[in-house]
Amino acid sequence: MQPDEFDEYAASYDAALEQGISVSGESKDFFAAGRVEWLKQCLKAMQYAPAHLLDFGCGTGSATPWLKEAFGPQSILGVDLSEKSITVARDTHGSDTVSFCTLSDWTPDAEVDLAFCNGVFHHIPPPDRDAAARSVFEALRPGALFALWENNPWNPGTRYVMSRIPFDRDAIMLWPGEARRLLQRQGFEILRTDFLFIFPRRLRALRSLEPALSRLPLGAQYQVLARRP
């Protein structure tokens, strides 16, 4: 998608997303909270407490409340190519500690402790993905982490949900192996890959099994957690 296409959905993004994922029986907030909670537990196990966060491809800033609650950071910066989405994000979530800017106005500064990115790279044309990953790498200080979340191409439910969402229908999905190689090419060290959201709401009684199954490529989404050496 081009910037003007993202601008088109700035005001209706949440509604379109909710319509697509409604087949799971859950809301977008369920998945947003689940991603950030999983990341929080990963970082807790590493005894890593990030102070400065980057939300790469933040859209309208919908991850901001979850990131604030989970990590209590000193600052969060959200960047996105869509000017209209950034305007919505500023109006909705901007504060003394939370700021937003367009990618064209952003310069990576090697001061970020944790970069978070959800469902962005499948919208980036494959020839441009290395440059995007490189910009995240350059935003991180040495030793900092990058949590890359993407939709799992192996999951048929994910493909069906994406077919129901206007801005996802033509997206080129990123396979987990591709994601790891992409990050490694930019100098990242891969720490782990986890798959989440295996069971829909009607099978929620089985969700306690998900941590034990997280290394199997079953979930609707996956996280590649990487580190800048």
- Work out whether strand 75-80 and strand 52-56 pair parallel, antiparallel, or are unpaired: parallel
Domains, in order of start, for the chain? 3-227 (3.40.50.150)
Question: What pLDDT, on the 0 to 100 scale, is given for residue 168?
Answer: 82
Question: What pLDDT, on the 0 to 100 scale, is given for residue 1?
Answer: 47
**Burial of 33 per CB tally in 10 Å (0-12, 13-18, 19+):** middle
Structure tokens belonging to residue 6: 């993202």
The answer to whether the pTM exceeds 0.75 is: yes
**Tokens 């993202």 label which residue?**
6
**Tokens 């901001």 label which residue?**
64
Question: What pLDDT, on the 0 to 100 scale, is given for residue 26?
Answer: 84
Question: What pLDDT, on the 0 to 100 scale, is given for residue 167?
Answer: 74
Residue 168 phi/psi, 5-degree rounding, is: -110, -15
pLDDT beneath 50: ranges in the chain: 1
